Amino acid sequence: NIFRILADLSHLASIVILLETIRKARQIDGISLKTQILYVLVFCTRYLDLLTFRWTSLYNTLMKFFFIGTSVYVVKLMQDCKLTNPVSYKDMMFRDTFQIKYLLGPCALLALVFNYKFTVLELCWSFSIWLESVAILPQLFMLSRSGKASTLTTHYIFALGLYRALYIPNWIWRYYSENRLEKLSIFTGLLQTALYSDFFYIYYRKVMKGRGFELP
């Protein structure tokens, strides 16, 4: 359906914006390495089904490879910055102080409690869906600590947030058209979107009206 397509396109756009930002500017100011590492973990644990060869569709498979590949590539580009732009790298590390163990632990526990089946694949899937819902927190934390961000960085976060937000009408659509109600994705998707709500509000008030992103 249209919401699902738009959501996935928005997800693709967010990654393209991020890659272009890092490659063009040759700096990583304001981008959280921790969030990017969490996304590698999210995609690698979610798409383990690639190994089972029970593929849903060519579209899904290509997208999965794209998300795993680009998330690893982003982390590599950011690590390269250590040599090519050490000032920017140090500055990023100085601000990227969120303790991700407070996300990883609870997500692992939640995956053990809430899952569709007690198998390695399903537990990893559940872990990834919980982790995705909070993976942006180091990035938002960094943003709130520095109080401002480059416009491109905010476009990236907006596109990334929009992706999960658009999955919500997709789930409503699927409930009515297929009678499908996938509770875990829906709950974590709502949680994820809620975490972005503050950001969305400031983005709408400032960036969309041509003013820079600056926190009150």
Partner 1 sequence: EGTEVEHDEL
**Alpha carbon 162 to its chain's center:** 10
Give the binding-site size for partner 1 (rule: CB under 8 A).
19
Tokens standing for 75? 């982390």
Cβ at position 165, least distance to partner 1 in Å: 14
Give me the DSSP letters along 152-215.
HHHHHHHHHHHHHHHHHHHHHHHHHHH----HHHHHHHHHHHHHHHHHHHHHHHTGGGT--EE-
133 or 185, CB closer to partner 1? 185
Question: Helix, strand or coil for residue 149?
Answer: strand
Q: Which of 116, 175, 201, 204 is close enough to bind partner 1 by CB under 8 A?
A: 116
Q: Does residue 49 bind partner 1 (CB under 8 A)?
A: yes
Rounded Cα distance between 9 and 103, Å, is: 27
Cβ at position 138, least distance to partner 1 in Å: 22
Q: Per CB under 8 A, which region of 104-112, 148-156, 182-190, 191-199 contacts partner 1?
A: 182-190
Q: Count CB neighbours of 192 within 10 A.
A: 23
Closest among 75, 73, 92, 69 to 150, alpha carbons compared? 92
Q: Which of 15, 18, 35, 64 is close enough to bind partner 1 by CB under 8 A?
A: 64
153 or 170, CB closer to partner 1? 170
Beta bridge partners of 213: 149
- Of 142-181, binders to partner 1 (CB under 8 A) are 167, 170
Tokens standing for 127? 């872990």
Q: Which of 65, 105, 106, 182 is close enough to bind partner 1 by CB under 8 A?
A: 182
User: Binding pattern to partner 1, positions 13-32, x when CB under 8 A?
Assistant: --------------------
Q: Does residue 39 bind partner 1 (CB under 8 A)?
A: no
44 or 184, CB closer to partner 1? 184
Beta bridge partners of 214: 148
User: Binding pattern to partner 1, positions 67-106, x when CB under 8 A?
Assistant: x---------------------------------------
Closest among 121, 160, 143 to 39, alpha carbons compared? 160
Closest among 122, 215, 177 to 1, alpha carbons compared? 177
Q: Does residue 57 bind partner 1 (CB under 8 A)?
A: yes
**Residue ranges binding partner 1 (CB under 8 A):** 4, 8, 11, 46, 49, 56-57, 60, 63-64, 67, 116-117, 125, 167, 170, 182, 184-185
